[in-house]
Structure 1
Amino acid sequence: MRRHLLLKELSIASLWALTVTSQAAFGFEAQSSAGSSSAVSASVPSQSEEHGSAGYEEAEKTEGAVTTDEIEVNEESPWLLTPTLSSDPKMGSSIGFLAGYVHYFDEASPSSIIGLTGSYSDTDSSVQGAFASTYFDKDRQRLQAAYVTMKIENDYQDYLGTGLDVRTTDEASLSFLRYLRRVSSSWFLGGQAIHADYSITGRDAFSQAILKLFGIDGFNGTAVGLVAERDSRDNVNNPQSGSYFQVTNTQYLEALNDDLEFGVWQAKYSRFDPINDDHLIATQLTGRYTNDAPKAAYSSVRLRGYTVGEYLAPHNMSVEIEDRIKLSSRWGATVFAGATCLFGDGEDCGDTSNWFPMVGAGVTYLLKPSEGMVVRLEGAKGQDDSYGVYLQFGNSF
């Protein structure tokens, strides 16, 4: 299959991973919160355990009848500060931070977070961003926003399978806004707007010539789209049961851009099944379909253990399964596996070379028990020499 070694796939699907975990990914595969917690906190008394979509109907029944028993005293600091790190063979090692402020807008809404994130790598690459994920009006309304900039230095030893050494600089900025309103007990409808500015340049004359030969360049565009979600999780920060479904449409319209017009459809489904008090099985299915997109906006492998943009194709679909294991009141472990298929341009998932598997494991620490927010240290192995080590805020999904 055709394997493109572009660094970034500028799409909505990766900004959230970037802002919330400081990974070298660019999009909003939109957790509806700043990372859902794992089963390590299943037995920890939590103020947020009554703040899930599954509890919305109960909150509606008692609206206007708040008593002292309904609001627990939260002695934790609302401030959050955690380091982040990642290491992989394509981008080297990076270290960064995530700083945030956690706030409840009312007694029925999940916790909201507003924060900053940044990272710097030993390849002189950097990522900076600001983000917000908010729930308000008794969780009838949800608003997410982010702004991210990055500069990434790449040194490829086998660019596009040609055996040529190519050195590139990728620069990008992305602005994102999404609004959702509850239309039933579990369904939300809304819209989103995105502005992306991406460029890739060769750091020497030879690299510039190779990029031109393969037609690899960036784009600058504004897009709008629709979003639909069904959220039956018992808690958005700490799901112990239920499911989450989301479908989004993003259209880069010629009316908003000079000569750029293409579309992206994305869908994801996550399910959380408790096996016993110490084990939770989390499963996620995702898909991404593009229509007339430039190569810089193609779909990529977004699994742990791979560098986003290392392999590209018009469309993808993925499956992941994860065992979240409780070890103590704060410590836990994860064991996970998954695979992505890249297809389109004459390629299909019947060809095993279009599949990209991964396996991995890690440990988690419950950073804020009342909100169910965790930090996780994980290692993942993909095919060939692909691997990754990550210290990140929140779970992968």
Structure 2
Amino acid sequence: MRRGILFFFFICFLLSFAADANAAEEKNKDDRGKNFAVAPIVISNPNIGSGLGVAGMYFFDLGDWRKEDPRSSVQAIGAYTNTDSYFYGLLSSLYLNHDTIRGNFGIFRANINNEYDIPWGGEANFSTGALAALGLLTYRVWDNVFIGGQALVIDVSYDPDTPADGDYLNLVGAEDSTTTGIGPVISYDTRDNVNYPSAGTLAELKGYYKPEAWGNETDYAVADLAVNHYIGLTETHILALRAYGRTGTEDTPYSDKSRLGQQSDLRGFKSGEVSGRTILSGQAEIRWQFTGKIGFVAFGGLAKLWDDELEELITEDLYYSGGVGFRYMLNTDQKINFRIDAAIGNDNNEGIYVGIQEAF
């Protein structure tokens, strides 16, 4: 981890130096009307290795847009790493009719070469290929309540490096599959800003029903609940809190298990190395806007998993991780941050994450 931490602080130093050199110019600069946010991605991720990529966002307005309405956006991202892993995708976030209708649509392609530590000794090396398309649409039915639905199609394939790695995949039940599902979405949103909230709450309940008749391995369902709460401690300090839970029915296949390290729950772990049918996690993050462009964060989290079929892979009663992060605001009007996070978890897990927008 020492090399990763040095890398993290080196990147932070370079960005801080560049920001200080342009401090006088940035002080009076207004990003209102700036439609682009582009940033390089320098990857050092426990799941895919180290590499380079780029992420960009384009902002636009739909219909009769008002100043207080969120701006719609399209985000493109792609990267390649030293483990011959790669991913790319396109995601749109749409706000229509004065934020009465919200939509998210995306398509993604990835090939990840995994190297998992096995609790009983050794490693499992295999590649995971995925192609996914998703869509979500909600309608504001009350002041802060949105109701709608979502749909997902994802094709997943596994390719073990050796017969022994194939035995590991058979043990956890990893099989090539095409998953199709639809389900409800209910959201409660009082955030003061959708990109960088300083107050308010976002609570989302989502579910998928995935019948065998649609090409799934069997009839099953999954559901998750996330609650993010934001407290403005001072003008420059924000406390961000997150509680997350996800579970599936008994026949949920390995490809759709809840995964430690997936998205931001929790940073520092390889996504998929520790999986279970049910996960509960909580996080806290302090965000400090040091200058108009420069910010820092400190975060920590806990997680618990349950699964009778994968109990040998769940080696801890409670998983934890913590870390620090650097922020550089690419667009002050829309409050879009470029972020670098360094995280450490138990069982010698670690990782550095680089991207656009906050972890939650």
Are 2:316 and 1:356 equivalent residues in the alignment? no
| Aligned partner (choices 174, 177, 182) of residue 135 of structure 2 | 177
CA distance in 1, matches of 2:338, 2:195: 13
Question: Which residue identity is paired with 2:48?
Answer: M
**1:235-314 equivalent positions in 2, closer than 5 A:** 235-257=193-215, 259-291=217-249, 292-301=251-260, 302-314=265-277
Are 2:46 and 1:86 equivalent residues in the alignment? no
CA distance in 2, matches of 1:289, 1:109: 34
- The 3 A distance-change label for structure 1 pair 228 and 363 is same
CA distance in 2, matches of 1:75, 1:144: 24
Moved more, 78-87 or 244-253: 78-87
Identify the residue that residue 5 of structure 2 maps to in structure 1: none
CA distance in 2, matches of 1:360, 1:342: 21
CA distance in 2, matches of 1:210, 1:321: 35
- The 3 A distance-change label for structure 1 pair 90 and 256 is closer
Identify the residue that residue 125 of structure 1 maps to in structure 2: 85
- Match of 2:303, SS state, is strand
CA distance in 1, matches of 2:252, 2:110: 22
Contact 1:109 1:136 in 2 (8 A): no
Cα deviation digits, residues 232-282 of structure 1 (max 9, x gap): 111212311111110001111123226432111100111111111221111
| Aligned partner (choices 342, 348, 352) of residue 305 of structure 2 | 342
- Match of 1:320, SS state, is strand
- Match of 2:165, SS state, is helix
- The 3 A distance-change label for structure 1 pair 136 and 347 is same
CA distance in 1, matches of 2:224, 2:354: 27
- The 3 A distance-change label for structure 1 pair 183 and 352 is same
Identify the residue that residue 390 of structure 1 maps to in structure 2: 353
Identify the residue that residue 75 of structure 2 maps to in structure 1: 115
- The 3 A distance-change label for structure 1 pair 214 and 392 is closer
Give how far 1:222 is off: 0.7
Over the aligned positions, Cα root-mean-square deviation in angstroms equals 2.2
Give how far 1:89 is off: 4.4
CA distance in 2, matches of 1:211, 1:284: 32
Contact 1:135 1:142 in 2 (8 A): yes
- The 3 A distance-change label for structure 1 pair 121 and 352 is closer
Give how far 1:80 is off: 2.1
Moved more, 258-267 or 172-181: 258-267
- Match of 1:276, SS state, is coil
Contact 2:172 2:254 in 1 (8 A): no
CA distance in 1, matches of 2:170, 2:304: 28
- Larger fraction in strand: 2
Structure 1, unmatched stretches of 5+, are 1-43, 46-72
Identify the residue that residue 100 of structure 1 maps to in structure 2: 57
**1:132-171 equivalent positions in 2, closer than 5 A:** 132-156=92-116, 158-159=117-118, 161-171=119-129
* TM-score for both structures, normalised by structure 1: 0.77
- The 3 A distance-change label for structure 1 pair 214 and 319 is closer
Question: Which residue identity is paired with 1:299?
Answer: S
- The 3 A distance-change label for structure 1 pair 214 and 247 is closer
Contact 2:217 2:253 in 1 (8 A): no
* TM-score for both structures, normalised by structure 2: 0.84
Give how far 1:163 is off: 2.1
Question: Which residue identity is paired with 2:308?
Answer: D
CA distance in 2, matches of 1:225, 1:117: 27
- The 3 A distance-change label for structure 1 pair 295 and 137 is same
Cα deviation digits, residues 13-48 of structure 1 (max 9, x gap): xxxxxxxxxxxxxxxxxxxxxxxxxxxxxxx99xxx
- Match of 1:321, SS state, is strand
CA distance in 1, matches of 2:212, 2:245: 25
Identify the residue that residue 156 of structure 2 maps to in structure 1: 198
Moved more, 143-152 or 233-242: 233-242
Question: Which residue identity is paired with 1:98?
Answer: A
Contact 2:43 2:52 in 1 (8 A): yes
Question: Which residue identity is paired with 1:101?
Answer: Y
**1:22-37 equivalent positions in 2, closer than 5 A:** none
Question: Which residue identity is paired with 1:337?
Answer: G
Question: Which residue identity is paired with 1:344?
Answer: D
